[in-house]
Structure 1
């Protein structure tokens, strides 16, 4: 299959290009600063586009760059048609598109349309009076009075702690915000509001040449309209977890189908939705079924959220998990589209989660860090679906040092959960929250990208002050150090991404079957050609532990057929062990892929 030419526009075997493309998420504030103000920008991204091409990236996903007061790092948009000045200008976006397209790469932007900033012109009008034409573009409700005391309309808890309702003194009503009070929710029930979203936030950018969107909070547009209290599940809080009130609501598929029919479809724009709180495959399939004409693919978070507590209240109270749990969840979300016209995604890092090698790997020593980062890479590149990589994943960037204090955590969510723990007066809760943040906080993925060993890691000028502190280990962990090293994590990612396309019928499009689900050290699975034409299969074997391990009988049995050939090992030639005549030893944190024919 390696002789087949893959085209970024037409894909392979009649499939759309985005199925086998490698997407790379850029968090622009932290990627590359070109002017020394300590804030990453579009010219900085453009200056490193050759690095992305060299890595093997096909599509660049740029996190929010629109005008914003930055209460939630750009996920609070105040003007969808302007660029936040520290990032650059509209002309910089045009240059990025031109340079990417010239290299055969595509660019997608982050579409944030569940809510706006409270500084957006639409909300300014909406809150100006109850009779304003845009009043109903947001969700306003009167107060409840109990014994003469004013209370919010419902008892719902927001994602960033506290209530989902904020009182507006001017119009004497509450407005809804699932996130921060600075992020009022748009009312998708209002048709004029939806039309404005399509024109103002989507067609504007597609007409400019953008190739599609990652769509934020895509399943929260349709809220239940009865606005009732959620059941009390936390007796110690007046605010209760209530995602059932706003996730996958009664009109959600109608809204997304309309979005596709009116905008995404006619522009042939690729779409990937953020689908939270949707843990059942039968709920996910309607979003990504080709016949349903809604979204091309979605992010489902069961695997990447392992270790977190309940998504709202105790989210940052760390919950240890066994490898067997990781394995069964991977199998669930790898196989759920088999026999359907739906599609899936593969990813283990993004801007909302901590670093994969710190969470799922082993950073106890430099050797284990390299080994485990490569093993995680091999796991990801052999999974079915569209592959997404987050900036720094390809060099094994790690969580912030455990020695850093809470003052280094800049994220609104981290601040909210920590403040809530402190306010409780429970010292044990504060301790557990700090521990959980050190493992899971969104901040870990947002520290500056580590380009080289110069001051500020080459992210910004030597004398500048980065908006977030640079990792203490940047001198030993950076692109320049790995770029010329054939044994580096970066070099392994480059070769693994090429391997993924060379054997796309197995790794991109293949079926997935887990082997030995209960083994707590060895993660093994079989990938087969879903079309059945080649008779080829791959057996992926990952030792995800710090101890040597032998392959069990179920794993060796999975290799039945012609003598298996070692396709790749994270240990290079050291991993070239033979299967015949015994059970090979897997080194600590080693991954291998064997290929044979049935």
Structure 2
């Protein structure tokens, strides 16, 4: 088979034609391998003109989420809180009034479920707000019934606690004990004084948390939880207690909803992450995120598939039921486009890698239109650009954007009309994944052949389908031998061509071939 060089990405028309020719219908692979869309409600869509995104705005845009191809939505915190980010909760059984009412949220949930879109909410239980009624009671005196809901130490005993602490990847261990104003008793707050840690040695606290979970699953009807700071339920020197807590939490939640979805944030290396799997069957793969960036920024192609193979094999030795939640960016990291040097082709190729790798991919809102942003965190969470500014009645205005602005980011309305846009690229790749089981749920196998350093290559195999994905992440043209019988092209990006038994890959180009 001979083919001339193809200068652009596969268009919507050609991808759809391929699907129609093969008569394959999209499959919803959630939770094992489906696509989840992360939304910061405050920045998504403002339905009432107050400058703040809201539940009704998300409801209005559910057709968009469905069009993109996502199977689920993860909402960043939606509960009442004194901060914009809402990771310090003041009421676990309510929603923030800026976002609407609980009835608004229930309507959103019902409309999402009509579209077979699952809803996962952030559950922040490592700590509360220092304005939570529990804490206000707790700090009022040593004899208060809520005193032991939190971790307290007298001034002269803090050193004993500090000696047990270790520096972790997500904290610098500085000033984690906080004075509420009396100078004698200090409370522990791992992240910040406004977020006092709950005391999970207290059985009353654990039961409070289980009851909160039951409320959201049974009375409200959400499909699952993203568990924030899951590694920090108990102190760092008690990891086994953390593991046991999450197993108990899972058991309690499964009493209400046997198929409850639980995804945990355990920000560490695989050896630390893996023991959480019996309690949290889905865990974010931060190694994937950082190795993806390293591969592209150093043009070292095979480090990502090799790392991913290592992680998958390691986790499967613990449980075959684990869900590998892969991410290319999220609300805590700089936007993907900034991480890749503002090179649109790099981002498009990076998402082609993620969507053809094993895992259950998470897409951070706005990534699919090439939004930009760097720290501080609020500028990674800027408003979504639905249309040009003078036409965009639903654009949130709670913050003045510095990075995702007109002229720097093309709004969605204009991207829809461009077959080579970020949006259509993401949409195509999700559709490709959902119509090829090998790409969604297939095994990952590494080639025996040796390739140039800039080549990233791997096989995905499931039952009678086998595909070979190959990405040239470098700046020079590369030619490689095609594995025998891999003759049908499923996807092409950049300048690619087939010449006899060779694939010709131009700079920053990709191809996915199916075995026939």
Matching residue of 1:80: 92
Report how far residue 327 of structure 1 moved.
5.0
Residue of structure 1 equivalent to 2:384: 449
Contact 2:149 2:198 in 1 (8 A): yes
Among 130, 133, 154, which residue is 2:162 paired with?
154
Q: Relative CO higher for 1 or 2, CA cutoff 8 Å, sep ≥ 6?
A: 2
Q: Report the CA distance shift for 1:509/1:306 in structure 2 as closer, same or farther (over 3 A).
A: closer
Partners of 1:308 and 1:562 in 2: CA distance: 32
After TM superposition, the structure 1 = structure 2 runs for residues 68-107 of structure 1, keeping only pairs within 5 Å, are 68-70=81-83, 73-107=85-119
Q: Shift of residue 467 of structure 1?
A: 5.4
* Residues 107-143 of structure 1: CA deviation (Å, up to 9, x unaligned): 1100100000011111111111111122111111111
The 5 Å alignment of 1:217-232 reads 217-223=229-235
Alignment of 1:155-304 (within 5 A): 159=171, 162-170=174-182, 172-223=184-235, 244-245=236-237, 249-267=239-257, 268-277=259-268, 279-281=269-271, 283-288=272-277, 292=278, 294-304=279-289
Query: How much has 1:563 moved relative to structure 2?
Result: 4.2
CA displacement at 1:297 relative to structure 2:
0.7
The alignment partner of 1:66 has SS state of coil
Q: Distance in 2 between matches of 1:258 and 1:563?
A: 47
TM-score, structure 1 as length reference:
0.74
**Residues 509 and 272 (structure 1), Cα distance of their counterparts in 2 relative to 1, 3 Å cut:** farther
Please identify, of 191-200 and 37-46, the stretch whose mean Cα deviation from structure 2 is larger: 37-46
Task: Deviation per CA, 1:210-238: give whole Å up to 9, x if none.
Answer: 11111111121122xxxxxxxxxxxxxxx
CA distance in 1: counterparts of 2:123 and 2:331, whole angstroms = 15
Change in 2 beyond 3 A, CA 1:470/1:81 = farther
For 1:377, which of 346, 351, 370 is the aligned residue?
351
Structure 1 residue aligned with 2:58, among 30, 45, 60? 45
Counterparts of residues 301-340 of structure 1 (less than 5 Å): 301-305=286-290, 323=300, 325-338=303-316, 340=319
Match of 1:543 among 460, 472, 476: 472
Check if 1:566 corresponds to 2:495.
no
Q: Is the counterpart of residue 585 in structure 1 residue 504 in structure 2?
A: yes
Check whether the contact 1:139–1:175 (CA below 8 A) recurs between aligned residues: yes
Contact 2:25–2:435 under 8 Å retained in 1: no
Distance change in 2, residues 1:578/1:27 (3 Å): same
Q: Is the 8 A contact 2:373 2:403 kept in 1?
A: no
* Residues 171 and 484 (structure 1), Cα distance of their counterparts in 2 relative to 1, 3 Å cut: same
Structure 1 residues 550 and 204: CA distance shift in structure 2, 3 A: closer
Equivalent-residue separation in structure 2 for 1:209 and 1:85 (angstroms): 19
Q: Contact 1:452–1:481 at 8 Å: present in 2 too?
A: yes
| Structure-2 change in CA distance of 1:516 and 1:75 (3 Å) | farther
Partner of 1:342: 321
In the alignment, which of 341, 364, 376 is matched to residue 390 of structure 1?
364
Q: Which runs of 5+ in 1 are unaligned?
A: 12-16, 224-243, 310-319, 401-408, 412-441
Q: Hey, what's the Cα distance between the residues in 1 that align with 2:336 and 2:191?
A: 25
Which is worse superposed, 134-143 or 32-41?
A: 32-41
Q: Distance in 2 between matches of 1:130 and 1:161?
A: 26
The runs of 5 or more residues in structure 2 that have no matched partner are: 1-18
1:489 aligns with 2:422: yes
2:442, 2:460 within 8 Å by CA — same for their partners in 1? no
CA contact (8 A) 2:68 2:427 kept: yes
Counterparts of 2:402 and 2:52, CA distance in 1: 11
Instruction: Give the superposed CA RMSD.
Output: 3.0
Q: Which residue of 2 aligns with 1:353?
A: 333
| More displaced stretch, 78-87 vs 264-273 | 264-273
* Whole-Å separation in 1 of the counterparts to 2:310 and 2:379: 27
Q: Distance in 1 between matches of 2:134 and 2:307?
A: 41
Question: Distance in 1 between the 2:308 and 2:479 partners?
Answer: 20
Deviation of the 1:466 alpha carbon: 3.2
Q: 1:125 to 1:119 in 2, by over 3 A?
A: same
- The equivalent residue for 1:317 is none
Deviation at 1:590, TM superposition (A): 1.5
Residues in 2 aligned to 1:479 and 1:69: alpha-carbon distance in whole angstroms: 31
Alpha-carbon contact 1:349-1:390 (below 8 Å) kept: yes
Shift of 1:564: 2.3
CA pair 205-80 structure 1, distance change in 2 beyond 3 A: farther
- Residue 518 to residue 118, structure 1, CA distance change in 2 (3 Å): farther
In the alignment, does 2:395 pair up with 1:460?
yes
Deviations 1:390-423 (A, max 9, x none): 10111222235xxxxxxxx6x4xxxxxxxxxxxx
Question: 1:142, 1:172 → 2: CA distance?
Answer: 6
Q: How many residues align?
A: 486
Displacement of 1:470: 6.0
